[in-house]
Amino acid sequence: MAHRNLEKLASIDAQLRLLVPGKVSEDDKLIEYDALLLDKFLDILQDLHGEDLKETVQQCYELSAEYEGKHDPKKLEELGNVLTSLDPGDSIVIAKAFSHMLSLANLAEEVQTAHCRRTKLKKGDFVDEANASTESDIEETLKRLVHKLKKSPEEVFDALKNQTVDLVFTAHPTQSVRRSLLQKHGRIRNCLAQLYAKDITPDDKQELDEALHREIQAAFRTDEIRRTPPTPQDEMRAGMSYFHETIWKGVPKFLRRVDTALKNIGINERVPYNAPLIQFSSWMGGDRDGNPRVTPEVTRDVCLLARMMAANMYFSQIEDLMFEMSMWRCSDELRVRAEELHRSSSKRDVKHYIEFWKQVPPTEPYRVILGDVRDKLYNTRERARHLLAHDVSDIPEELVYTNVEQFLEPLELCYRSLCACGDRVIADGSLLDFLRQVSTFGLSLVRLDIRQESDRHTDVLDAITQHLEIGSYREWSEEKRQEWLLSELSGKRPLFGPDLPKTEEIADVLDTFQVLAELPPDCFGAYIISMATSPSDVLAVELLQRECNVKQPLRVVPLFEKLADLEAAPAAVARLFSIEWYCNRIDGKQEVMIGYSDSGKDAGRLSAAWQLYKAQEELIKVAKKFGVKLTMFHGRGGTVGRGGGPTHLAILSQPPETIHGSLRVTVQGEVIEQSFGEEHLCFRTLQRFCAATLEHGMNPPISPRPEWRALMDEIAVHATEQYREIVFKEPRFVEYFRLATPELEYGRMNIGSRPSKRKPSGGIESLRAIPWIFAWTQTRFHLPVWLGFGAAFKHTIEKDVKNLHMLQEMYKTWPFFRVTIDLVEMVFAKGDPGIAALNDKLLVYEDLWSFGESLRANYEETKSLLLKIAGHKDLLEGDPYLRQRLRLRDSYITTLNVCQAYTLKRIRDPNYHVTLRPHISKEYAEPGRKPADEYIKLNPKSEYAPGLEDTLILTMKGIAAGMQNTG
């Protein structure tokens, strides 16, 4: 038996060796990492569930691998037969096992990326072109600007000091992995990295091996499925946990690296601590667009919670700082203050502090000052806690920090004093880090944006005008609306009193403005209006802020999403800027948000990308004409279909002059973990955004030539036409989409707090962009990403063969076009029409089969045209690393795809009968209890046959993990 075991183990390892491409480079350890985690996991599986189950997993893996080799659909059927013969408990275990193996493959990949990065840094070598395109090292960027582009170091320093990157965490974390698992994954990553460290002793190795085993087993034994949908408060807490884990310490660490990079180009100054290099904002608990669960109370709660968390994190660091600041030499200014504080503080001992609980003597002046800061931070935290729990607090406002200036002042005093006494070296240690944290996070941790649909404001104003008996605001023309709004904004009288009749919706909007008036102004960022089309939409929010006594009104940001709105945006903004009252109000600064997801869903990826490019150019022209500095707020999704993709490339492909040192961009829920889940990831993300923003401003990408523009315009028209022809006009499409993908079942995943539809009924247009992309990703067909490209390119090339050469030249020299094509190529590399064909055969009515076939033919044709334009023989030939990583994952994903297709068949077709073989999973169980029942008991209320719903959800989660930025 033992011999057979060894043979089996060798076979799966050998399988891996045969399937996986060879090493890509000397320091490529990916295969090793992956094999190690896989072997460990299979041993655990055998211990927990017996040998038969482990063999079934291997059988499925081998069938998948054989399919990946030859793409023979018979292999998928064989695999389907194995999977459908399993009883409910076994099928859950197998789906869980493959989902888990994919997560482990992802972890192996992350450790390999970090390993390569370290090796490179040690060698000081960045010549690897394959990675250079998507990586931006801040030091490398500064050196390139100075040495290659002949910028003076002072110019670079000046640009860097004045630039801002504002990362906005958004409120739809489609993070389909639970936080309990993310933490275990983090520990697996750490163990794996340490196991391969150079100076590891045999005992260390043994202990790390045990720890790795423990964490893999703990992750496998955790229920992957969220049994209840998250509330907006849950989402916000999940989002904020990243500040706690990585961002809080990551920001000062990153800024230190910027200081070092500056030193290396000859600048002997540090980035000033109040330079707004990085800012953080959030939509979690502020984004009410189509999410009825975000109430005014939720907004108030998340603001107070963030304030409490911020005060708590400062408080936890202040004692360490007091320990460090043991110096007695200080400036006269500081000595006087310390003596005053010493005299006025009570002589009582403070027993609830761990350190420095007795009164600090005036001979340690810095500690006296910081002791006072500590008292105020303690009170600030406690006051937020009381307000959150009981709505009132007995701590008076004068004992807490109400604005960040009060908090910075004593810290700045300490900094100045140390520098004056020749101790700048000490000042530039922890104190500088602390000052930088205060400048970045303030008292509110993040600034909360509010987002609301323009129609909701119209409803409120309509209720007011009807109540005042001056007509119906909703029915007025734009001119009349503007005239009335401006006369009210210039006047002083209140518009309405408590007697205004309110529906629930109207009360909700007005109560939100009340929350803005009640909480400290530094809690909030922008007020974003979705579906904004005209100046009155912006003025309406200005008026409502004034009416509700918002002391420091939020900046109002129109959001343009649909294709037609993007086309009309420049004219709408020009009309807004020509209103004198408004220009005086904004003081030469305006922000405009452009949405990637809905424009992509509305017109297809190609046309949306080109329209977004043109809209930005036009908006910048308008702003220049009116002398306004425009900040673009990019609402990119995490997926390619929703505008996502590698950060560095995405920034460098924006039109020239559109970033100009200030970039605001959403970090979508599903990508937060990939960007900030771990210290080195957090560092890399901050570095990418900063370096690319700097480079875009100082070395702008080329502007497209007039003939390229003309060609793009022509292509975009054809692409939109074909996309809409199929998605919106083809009568069979909606039915085909609902049958061929798990869209109808998507809502069971309990991913986010938002409903997946804007309106309960309705077709594709009412579906949110996230489920629309998610559903096509599950079947590896990615239709929204590529549909339209093929027809457009084919038409253009057939019209004139010279156009092919022009497209190839555009690909080589124009970053925007290259990025657009490369991202689609990456999605094709992750796609597999064979899986879509299997879904059709099992789930789609026969009379729709020909429609599915025509879409797959379109897919293949688009793929070959794309390769022709990029000048590639094979997909991803320019990126061997990515190709290797995708091949490693494919066999796991295929098993889950097949499992999903057959599970959907069993759920949807009551006449589909399968013959189950006896139960194979052995488990530690009391005599007389069936272990399979354990799994089924986790979901007792399912309306499907036992086990099917959990199996389905596990396949969805596994595929989403495997697809990463296209999931």
Dist. CA 870–CA 874, nearest whole Å? 10
- What lies within 8 Å, CB to CB, of 542 at 6+ separation is 485, 489, 553, 556, 582, 585
Report helix, strand or coil for 914: coil
CB 134 within 8 A of CB 648: yes
CB 175 within 8 A of CB 749: no
Dist. CA 170–CA 634, nearest whole Å? 12
DSSP state of 915: P
Give the other-Cβ count within 10 Å of 299's Cβ.
24
Q: Which two tokens stand for residue 598?
A: 């809905």
Dist. CA 559–CA 101, nearest whole Å? 41
Mark 695-713 as b/e (b = at least 16 C-beta within 10 Å): bbbbebbeebeeebeebbe
- What lies within 8 Å, CB to CB, of 255 at 6+ separation is 271, 277, 278, 436
Catalytic choice (642, 664, 684, 818): 642
Catalytic choice (115, 144, 447, 601): 601
Q: Is 172 a catalytic residue?
A: yes
Mark 177-206 as b/e (b = at least 16 C-beta within 10 Å): bbeebbbbbbbbbbbbbebeeeeeeeeeee
CB 919 within 8 A of CB 930: yes
Q: Of 222, 238, 335, 333, which Cα lies nearest the Cα of 282?
A: 238
Give the other-Cβ count within 10 Å of 150's Cβ.
8
Catalytic choice (49, 75, 115, 172): 172
Q: Of 607, 542, 633, which Cα lies nearest the Cα of 579?
A: 542
Dist. CA 914–CA 949, nearest whole Å? 17
- What lies within 8 Å, CB to CB, of 510 at 6+ separation is 460, 502, 544, 548
Q: Of 827, 883, 269, 396, which Cα lies nearest the Cα of 600?
A: 827
Dist. CA 449–CA 439, nearest whole Å? 19
DSSP letters, 776-798, are HHHTT--HHHHTTHHHHHHHHHH
CB 609 within 8 A of CB 571: no
Dist. CA 857–CA 869, nearest whole Å? 19
In this structure, the chain runs to a length of 967
Q: Which two tokens stand for residue 524?
A: 């909030």
Dist. CA 784–CA 952, nearest whole Å? 23
CA distances from residue 925 to 42, 89, 96 in whole angstroms, order as listed: 20, 14, 19
Sign of the alpha-carbon dihedral angle for 480, 481, 486, 489: positive
Q: Which two tokens stand for residue 841?
A: 């055969």
CA distance from start to end of the chain: 42
Report helix, strand or coil for 519: coil
Q: Is 49 a catalytic residue?
A: no
CB 612 within 8 A of CB 722: no
Q: Of 261, 219, 258, which Cα lies nearest the Cα of 48?
A: 219
CA distances from residue 535 to 289, 546, 595, 612 in whole angstroms, order as listed: 20, 17, 18, 20
CB 284 within 8 A of CB 236: yes
Dist. CA 219–CA 957, nearest whole Å? 14
Dist. CA 593–CA 72, nearest whole Å? 47
Dist. CA 101–CA 107, nearest whole Å? 10
CA distances from residue 396 to 27, 308, 638 in whole angstroms, order as listed: 60, 16, 44
Q: Is 352 a catalytic residue?
A: no
Which residues are the active-site residues?
Answer: 172, 601, 642
